[in-house]
Amino acid sequence: MRVEESRELTARLEKAAIYLLKLDRYRKPDDLARRFGLPLPVVRYWWRNVEDQNKKPIADSELSPKQAKAIRKANQVLESWEKVKRYRPACGAKLANGRKCKHSVVIRQPEGWSMGALAERCRMHGGMARRVIRKKDEPEEE
């Protein structure tokens, strides 16, 4: 999964979570996060940064077909997060033996979700590594 795809996924998750919270399908961000296995701080952050946190609860009997479809779609987007967690793409870093790394990429810490939920690499090849990996500069010959 590329960086752009990861950001896209994160934006879709955020939009769906906020939609369900505004319709009062889940009372608190914590309930929604626990239900779908999302990190609690991320969902709390999304809900805190919404301009109007006014909930508009709608009874199930009063739902229009369009609203019911939107709720169902939002649930599907959030349920797909479990699949994304389970079937993360491979790291793909080139190893010393010439092969590519097969470990799955890292799910970022909640503070880094602005860059996307998934990192580009596994934990051993720079996904959440503390040190910065730099390319070796070739000496200039004159």
pLDDT digits (tens, 9 = 90+) for 106-130: 888 878 888 888 888 888 877 554 4
Q: Is the pLDDT of residue 82 over 90?
A: no
pLDDT reported for residue 63: 84
- pTM of the shown model: 0.70
Cα dihedral 48→51→53→55 (10° resolution): -140
Q: Give the model's confidence band at 97: pLDDT under 50 very low, under 70 low, under 90 confident, else very high.
A: confident
**Separation between Cα atoms, residue 49 and residue 131, nearest integer Å:** 31
Query: Average pLDDT for residues 17-40, to the nearest whole number?
Result: 90
**What does R_g of the chain's alpha carbons equal in angstroms?**
20
pLDDT reported for residue 83: 79
